[in-house]
Chain A
Amino acid sequence: MLSKKNKEALFNPLSKDNPILVQILGICSSLAVTASLEPAIVMGISVIAVLAFSNVIISFLRKTIPTNIRIIVQLVVIAALVIIVQQILVAYNYDVSKKLSVFIGLIITNCIIMGRLEAFAMHNRPWPSFLDGVGNGLGYTIILVIVAFFRELLGSGTLFGFKVIPQWCYDHGYMDNGLMILPPMALITLGCIIWYHRAHNKELQED
Chain B
Amino acid sequence: MNKNSNTYQILYAAVMVLLVGTVLAFIYMALKPKQSENIANDTRKQILSSLHLATPGDAQVKDTYEKYIIQDLLVDGDGKVVDSTKNVAFDVQMKKNVKLPADERLLPVMKCKLDDGSVKYVLPVYGAGLWGPIWGYIAVNDDGNTIYGANFSHEGETPGLGARIAEQPFQDEFKDKHLFVEGAFKSVAVLKKGQKATNGAEQIGRLPCPLRGFPEEIAGCSQPCRGR
Contacts and interface: CB of A to CB of B under 8 A. Distances in A.
Interface of A: 32-33, 35-36, 38-39, 64-69, 72-73, 76, 80, 83-84, 87-88, 90-92, 94, 98, 101-102, 105, 152, 181
Contacts of A76: 16-17, 20
A32 B27 contact: no
Interface centre among A67, A91, A105 (most CB of B within 10 A): A91
A66 B16 CA distance: 12
Q: Range of interface residues on chain B? A: 20 to 34
A68 B35 CA distance: 38
Interface string B2-13: 011000110011
A72 B160 contact: no
A64 B12 contact: yes
Contacts of B31: 87-88, 90-91
Interface in B11-65: 12-13, 16-17, 20, 23-24, 27-28, 31, 34-35, 38-39, 41-42
A89 to B, nearest CB: 10
Given A68-B4, A87-B28, A35 B159 contact: yes
7 contacts: A33-B160, A35-B159, A65-B3, A66-B12, A69-B13, A91-B38, A102-B131
Contacts of A72: 13
Contact of B159 (A36, A64, A92): A36
Interface string B174-201: 0000000000000000000000000000
B119 interface: no
Contact of B12 (A69, A92, A105, A181): A69
Contacts of B131: 102
Contact of A91 (B3, B13, B34): B34
A73 B12 CA distance: 9
Contacts of B17: 76
Contacts of B23: 80, 84
A179 B158 CA distance: 16
Contacts of B28: 87
A35 B161 CA distance: 8
B4 A66 contact: yes
